[in-house]
Amino acid sequence: MPIEQTLSMIKPDGVKRGLIGEVIGRFEKAGLKIRAMKMLHLSLNQARAFYAVHKERPFFDSLTQFMSSGPIVALILEGDNAIQVNRDLMGATDYRKAAPGTIRADFAKEIEANIVHGSDAVETAQVEIAFFFNALERV
């Protein structure tokens, strides 16, 4: 398995609901290493830039307002097959379809406010990591 890095975010609902420790604990128990981490509050424009790939989707305005509604935690996770391992921990986008025991199945209450984000491919992981972290901020 390739060693990969992926960008994870604990979304504003996860932070507001006090789930930072719970989510990070799941990453660590799964063997993912934290290579960088920060809390920040995205502006609306920054959220629109991050989710630009979805700009034609009907939920884009609502999603970016939600993502800029409060602080988030961004992390770089590293490990064997880290992109898929993280997505497996997260569960499906729609919490009603997420496998039991996944973060979204256990905690999400809406399709939009679904606790976590994770990169979906090597290329998007590189772009998303560079969005949040410069070289000095990665260990």
Cα separation, 75 vs 99, in Å, equals 23
CA-angle at 124, arms to 120 and 129, nearest 5°: 110
Look at residue 109 and give the partner it binds from ligand ATP, Mg ion, none, a contact being a CB closer than 5 to 8 Å depending on partner kind: none
Residues 9, 120: contact at Cβ < 8 Å? no
Answer for which of 93, 101, 138, 139 binds ligand ATP (CB under 6 A) is 93
Give residue 92's Cα distance to chain centre. 13
x-or-dash string of contact with Mg ion, 78-117, rule CB under 5 A: ----------------------------------------
x-or-dash string of contact with ligand ATP, 60-89, rule CB under 6 A: ---x--------------------------
Among all chains, which residue has been given the structure tokens 């970016």?
Answer: 64
Look at residue 43 and give the partner it binds from Mg ion, ligand ATP, none, a contact being a CB closer than 5 to 8 Å depending on partner kind: none
